[in-house]
């Protein structure tokens, strides 16, 4: 017996209902992005490793342990992208979009790769859809982005809570980090292995640790709100006020920090209760220093990304599909006639299955039922239209008449 192949651990086949949900989710995001005048960018899946080291951060879990990296045949050290923002900023700088003036609103969609421990809602290849705004420092952009995601999740009829926080400007963040380190050091021996490393490399990330004992320790840790500058507080207040004014419900979570290094000021997460501990379905924030860190001009910016697999778990109802008609040639003598008819119905954008498998009338009808046919057309010396719900039948001689009747029914 030949060996049977299996998909690689952490990778998934998305098919059937889930593939329909995937497309429905992406379409819903895309339509709303366009309503908000975001423009699409289609980015490479492979980038220089150092792009992620410099943006996501050397000390982050993503860069330390999760990247798919390899040397290509030209000796380049490359990585499969673990997220979309770094590539987006790289493109913004490399394509000199900033030189066009004004500001830029971009969106992207596609696969991301992280070598994580696979579990429900966490895979090694997963898909994100996200958007970024480059060149705006006004808090109005934060409000627009957050409320847009809020609205999309409502369109998808998903239950969620929105948590927001601010990390303050660079100075506030720096001061807070030293207070946090001081606190964490007192409990160093009780923290998990990863967090002991994080104290020195990426202390904010300890607040984001999912281990129970670490959560217990960080409960009483100093809060970022106590280290914020007056400007940072005012900025955050305006965002909250505006969100309230347009009916966006949120919870303030002073412990919310996000796992990536590049965030400043606003951070936010949309969280579902329904899918267990992998509950974050969309997340993002401001990253005002990132473009400069990547060799571009100083560019205030912000963005978010949603995890499509987690949304698939949450979307319950798909919009109604187009009704299907199935064309059944009674035998091979009628194949050409049936082919011609199917060409015509498809040109009219009637969703048509031309039955490709020969069999008894009974088995062909069974197949049509399996496809969920609304109407069946039997092709022989005449054309017989059968309504699969009522069982009613009508006979036609002329194809055009049949199509006219069909169009009026569908």
Contact residues for ligand ATP (CB under 6 A)? Answer: 83, 114, 116, 121-123, 126, 128, 258-259, 278, 280-283, 305, 307, 309-310
Residue nearer to ligand ATP on the CB measure, 314 or 364: 314
Which H or E run contains 285?
strand 280-286
Any idea which residue has 């009219």 for tokens?
348
CA distance 377 to 354: 10
Candidates 102, 141, 105, 178; CA nearest to 265 is 141
CB contact at 8 A, 304 and 266 = no
CB contact at 8 A, 200 and 185 = no
DSSP assignment, residue 99?
Answer: G
Q: How far is CA 307 from CA 190, 271, 304, 326, in A?
A: 32, 11, 10, 36
Candidates 284, 333, 290; CA nearest to 307 is 284
Minimum distance between the CB of residue 278 and ligand ATP, rounded to whole angstroms?
5
Minimum distance between the CB of residue 83 and ligand ATP, rounded to whole angstroms?
5
CA distance 85 to 291: 10
Minimum distance between the CB of residue 269 and ligand ATP, rounded to whole angstroms?
7
Minimum distance between the CB of residue 86 and ligand ATP, rounded to whole angstroms?
11
Residue nearer to ligand ATP on the CB measure, 259 or 323: 259
CA distance 370 to 386: 16
CB contact at 8 A, 164 and 266 = yes
Residue nearer to ligand ATP on the CB measure, 124 or 173: 124
Minimum distance between the CB of residue 130 and ligand ATP, rounded to whole angstroms?
8
Residue nearer to ligand ATP on the CB measure, 150 or 378: 150
Minimum distance between the CB of residue 209 and ligand ATP, rounded to whole angstroms?
10
Minimum distance between the CB of residue 369 and ligand ATP, rounded to whole angstroms?
36
CA distance 244 to 247: 5
Residue nearer to ligand ATP on the CB measure, 54 or 258: 258
CA distance 278 to 38: 28
Residue nearer to ligand ATP on the CB measure, 280 or 352: 280
Any idea which residue has 């005012």 for tokens?
234
Residue nearer to ligand ATP on the CB measure, 57 or 329: 57
Minimum distance between the CB of residue 187 and ligand ATP, rounded to whole angstroms?
22
CB atoms closer than 10 angstroms to residue 22: 18
Any idea which residue has 């954008």 for tokens?
349
Residue nearer to ligand ATP on the CB measure, 80 or 283: 283
CB contact at 8 A, 376 and 328 = yes
CA distance 141 to 133: 8
CA distance 355 to 353: 6
Residue nearest to ligand ATP (CB): 307
Q: How far is CA 318 from CA 152, 239, 327, in A?
A: 15, 34, 26
Relative to beta strand 264-271, strand 161-166 is antiparallel
Minimum distance between the CB of residue 312 and ligand ATP, rounded to whole angstroms?
10
Residue nearer to ligand ATP on the CB measure, 11 or 396: 11
Residue nearer to ligand ATP on the CB measure, 229 or 278: 278
Minimum distance between the CB of residue 123 and ligand ATP, rounded to whole angstroms?
4
Minimum distance between the CB of residue 155 and ligand ATP, rounded to whole angstroms?
17
Phi, psi (deg, nearest 5) at residue 212: -55, -50
CB atoms closer than 10 angstroms to residue 392: 10
Residue nearer to ligand ATP on the CB measure, 305 or 365: 305
Relative to beta strand 39-40, strand 280-286 is unpaired
């Amino acid at each position: 017996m030949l060996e049977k192949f299996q998909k690689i651990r952490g990778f998934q086949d998305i098919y059937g209902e889930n593939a329909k949900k995937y497309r429905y989710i992406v379409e819903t995001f895309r339509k709303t992005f366009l309503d908000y005048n975001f423009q699409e960018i289609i980015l490479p899946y492979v980038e220089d490793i150092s792009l992620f080291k410099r943006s996501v951060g050397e000390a982050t879990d993503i860069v330390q342990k999760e990247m798919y990296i390899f040397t290509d045949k030209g000796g380049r050290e490359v990585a499969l992208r673990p997220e979309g923002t770094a590539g987006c900023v790289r493109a913004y700088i490399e394509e000199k979009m900033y030189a066009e003036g004004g500001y830029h609103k971009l969106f992207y969609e596609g696969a991301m790769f992280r070598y994580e421990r696979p579990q429900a809602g966490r895979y090694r290849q997963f898909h994100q859809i996200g958007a970024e705004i480059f060149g705006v420092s006004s808090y109005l952009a934060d409000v627009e982005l957050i409320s847009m995601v809020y609205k999309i999740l409502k369109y998808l009829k998903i239950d969620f809570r929105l948590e927001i926080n601010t990390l303050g400007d660079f100075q506030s963040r720096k001061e807070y980090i030293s207070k946090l380190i001081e606190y964490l050091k007192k409990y160093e021996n009780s923290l998990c292995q990863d967090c002991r490393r994080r104290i020195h490399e990426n202390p904010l990330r300890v607040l984001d640790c999912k281990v129970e004992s670490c959560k217990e320790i960080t409960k009483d840790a100093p809060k970022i709100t106590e280290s914020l500058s007056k400007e940072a507080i005012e900025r955050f207040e305006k965002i909250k006020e505006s969100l309230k004014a347009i009916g966006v419900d949120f919870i303030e979570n002073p412990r919310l920090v996000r796992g990536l290094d590049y965030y400043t000021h606003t951070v936010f997460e949309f969280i579902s209760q329904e899918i267990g501990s992998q509950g974050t379905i969309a997340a993002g924030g401001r990253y005002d220093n990132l473009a400069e860190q990547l060799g571009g001009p100083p560019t205030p910016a912000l963005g978010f990304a949603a995890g499509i697999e987690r949304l698939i778990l949450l979307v319950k109802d798909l919009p109604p599909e187009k009704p299907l008609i199935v064309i059944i040639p009674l035998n091979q003598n009628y194949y050409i006639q049936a082919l011609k008819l199917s060409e015509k119905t498809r040109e009219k954008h009637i969703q048509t299955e031309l039955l490709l498998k020969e069999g008894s009338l009974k088995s062909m009808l069974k197949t049509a039922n399996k496809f969920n046919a609304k109407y069946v057309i039997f092709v022989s010396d005449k054309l017989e239209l059968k309504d699969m719900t009522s069982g009613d039948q009508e006979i036609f001689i002329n194809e055009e008449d049949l199509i006219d009747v069909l169009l009026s029914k569908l």
